[in-house]
Structure 1
């Protein structure tokens, strides 16, 4: 197709990969917020913040609504936030905040 096409394609794929990571993270944030306090952003400040973050990265509205619907489903795995503390080499303190549905897998 040509060199210019290859450059444009590379830029698009790089941007799309970055957007996919952001959308996945925000989707998980939305699911956790809905599981915690319900699907209404008027009463759920954490969901409101997650929706503002979704809007900031131009996440499509249908993806946000799908995440809320998915979280409202009772068969969905329940993610919980866990904080791990430890020390790295040379005495550097490490604090890890993670969201998981299986703590054993996360620790391993």
Structure 2
């Protein structure tokens, strides 16, 4: 009986730890997007001729001053890009709290 209680207690601790780790208690509310992955995604969207903007030469992309942006629906960040030798700004906006974002055209 005592061994059974220890097993149940251990499982409860593991469950609470896992829920905390994955942010279900709000203690890990730092839901952020990896800025390097965002930069790669912005580069892909800008250069894709079918599903993106079809830019010929995307030479450099730097988003959010190198800081991981916090994910929140409606929030966003900007990227500085070099397209065909010219520096441009691109705005990125989160569509939902899961990290889905849309990329505005270069300005």
TM-score scaled by length of structure 2: 0.31
Q: Which of 1 and 2 has higher RCO (CA within 8 Å, sep 6+)? A: 1
TM-score scaled by length of structure 1: 0.31
Bigger Rg, which one: 2
Which structure carries more helix by proportion?
1
Which structure carries more strand by proportion?
2
